[in-house]
């Protein structure tokens, strides 16, 4: 009697363990997707309590990262490019320092690209990513250079921002901060408040202008176009803008400048014209660069978290380059208003 051939057993679909994705892990752990990503890729950036909470959830669900989805490259340069429009601006130096600190922890070097507002220079630096000579790009510009790599682009936009939801960005609420700065001058009794803007082609300049106007409206004050002058964020442009305001003959007792360098230039021009700061004119800046506290007088200003902007942008770029499926994000960091000696109560008429 011929022996019967044993029937091949088939595994039922019910015996196949469910595969959880990173979003479900984040939901179960009651944290963000980015936190799960950091726990897996950069655990040193996560608090021990959160790290334990996420790891216990991962173990409980049996979650394993999808290596195919990561699409990790076998050959990495361990180089990233950071693009700045003007390296002579001390604001960018502190942001770059934050980028470099996180990059160094992960064995990455940072190539600094001073574009000098040149599209050709931008393309040259961006082409390093296309040629795989650099793994990613952090842009401190108000736009994102084109990169032709397939899939999600290894780019993070910092300080400035782009409205494209597909681009990860980290920045501050410029409008709210400018409104707070102007409100401070109003609280000191000033009503004729001038404004020195940055280039109005820059989103941050538009938002700071809007914050200034919003504060005036809230105080029932109509904005006067004669009290607005434009600069380009440099000290020299602050001098020129203040001289333009003074030449118009319109009275003002305070001025909000859209960055610290222009505020310093404005103070220099006021002194050259025999005006005392803050006795005759109060001045507020934006950024809180290192020189602001040592200026004469020390500058009242909006303090941006410059180091944190750099650290967060590099952390976000590492997440993208790791291939973890983290959606593009827009992260807003808090500012702090710092009162120093360049502002005072308005003198009685």
What are the boundaries of each domain within the chain? 18-65, 79-171+306-333, 174-304
Q: Which residue has the tokens 């602050």?
A: 238
Quick one: how far is CA 332 from the chain centroid?
8
Q: Write the CA distances from 86 to 112, 127, 155, 265, 286, integer angstroms.
A: 11, 20, 19, 17, 17
What pLDDT sits at residue 237?
Answer: 97
The low-confidence residues of the chain, meaning pLDDT below 70, are: 1-17, 42, 65-75
- CATH for 174-304 (3.40.50.2300, 3.40.640.10, 3.30.70.860, 3.90.550.10): 3.40.50.2300
71: left (phi over 0), alpha (psi -120 to 50) or beta: left
3-state SS, residue 304: coil
Q: Write the CA distances from 147 to 73, 116, 320, integer angstroms.
A: 17, 20, 15
Question: Cβ of 114: how many Cβ atoms within 10 Å?
Answer: 16
What's the predicted TM-score (pTM) here?
Answer: 0.79
Residues in the chain: 349
Could you check whether 79-171+306-333 and 174-304 share the same CATH topology?
yes
The tally of CA atoms less than 13 A away on the side-chain side of residue 196 is: 36
> Could you tell me the two tokens for 309?
């902007």
Q: Does domain 79-171+306-333 have CATH number 3.40.50.2300?
A: yes
- CA atoms of 194 and 227, how far apart (whole Å): 5
What pLDDT sits at residue 308?
Answer: 97
- CA atoms of 267 and 235, how far apart (whole Å): 10
What pLDDT sits at residue 17?
Answer: 66
The H-assigned helical ranges of the chain are: 22-29, 33-41, 48-61, 67-70, 90-105, 119-130, 174-187, 203-218, 235-247, 260-272, 306-322
- CA atoms of 264 and 189, how far apart (whole Å): 22
What pLDDT sits at residue 307?
Answer: 96
Q: Which residue has the tokens 């980015």?
A: 34
Q: Which fold has domain 18-65?
A: 434 Repressor (Amino-terminal Domain) (1.10.260)
Beta-strand relationship, 155-158 and 136-139: parallel
Q: Write the CA distances from 1 to 7, 25, 82, 126, integer angstroms.
A: 18, 57, 79, 76
- CA atoms of 111 and 96, how far apart (whole Å): 10
């Amino acid at each position: 009697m011929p022996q019967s051939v044993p029937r091949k057993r088939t595994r039922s679909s019910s015996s196949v363990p469910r595969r959880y994705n990173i979003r479900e892990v984040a939901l179960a752990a009651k944290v963000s997707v980015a936190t799960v990503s950091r726990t897996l890729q950069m655990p040193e950036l996560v608090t021990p309590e959160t790290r334990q909470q996420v790891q216990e959830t991962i173990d409980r669900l049996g979650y394993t990262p999808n290596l195919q989805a990561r699409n990790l490259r076998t050959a990495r340069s361990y180089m990233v490019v950071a693009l700045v429009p003007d390296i002579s601006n001390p604001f960018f130096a502190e942001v770059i320092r934050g980028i470099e600190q996180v990059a160094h922890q992960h064995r990455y070097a940072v190539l600094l690209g001073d574009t000098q507002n040149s599209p050709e220079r931008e393309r040259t630096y961006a082409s390093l990513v296309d040629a795989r000579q650099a793994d990613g790009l952090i842009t401190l510009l108000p736009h994102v250079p084109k990169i032709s790599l397939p899939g999600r682009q290894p780019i993070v936009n910092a300080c400035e921002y782009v409205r494209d939801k597909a681009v990860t960005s980290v920045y501050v609420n410029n409008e709210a901060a400018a409104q707070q700065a102007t409100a401070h001058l109003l609280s000191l009794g000033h009503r004729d408040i001038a404004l020195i803007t940055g280039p109005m082609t820059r989103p941050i300049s538009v938002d700071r202008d809007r914050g200034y106007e919003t504060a005036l409206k809230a105080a029932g004050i109509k904005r006067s176009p004669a009290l607005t002058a434009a600069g380009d964020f440099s000290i020299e442009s602050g001098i020129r803008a203040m001289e333009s305001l003074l030449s118009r003959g319109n009275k003002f007792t305070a001025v909000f400048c859209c960055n610290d360098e222009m505020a310093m230039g404005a103070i220099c021009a006021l002194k050259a014209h025999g005006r005392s700061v803050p006795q005759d004119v109060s001045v507020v800046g934006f950024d809180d660069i290192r020189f602001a506290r040592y200026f004469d007088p020390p500058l009242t200003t909006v303090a941006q978290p410059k180091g944190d902007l750099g650290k967060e942008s590099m952390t976000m770029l590492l997440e993208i380059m790791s291939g973890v499926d983290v959606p593009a994000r827009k992260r807003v960091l808090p500012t702090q208003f710092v009162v120093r000696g360049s502002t005072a109560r308005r003198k009685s008429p």
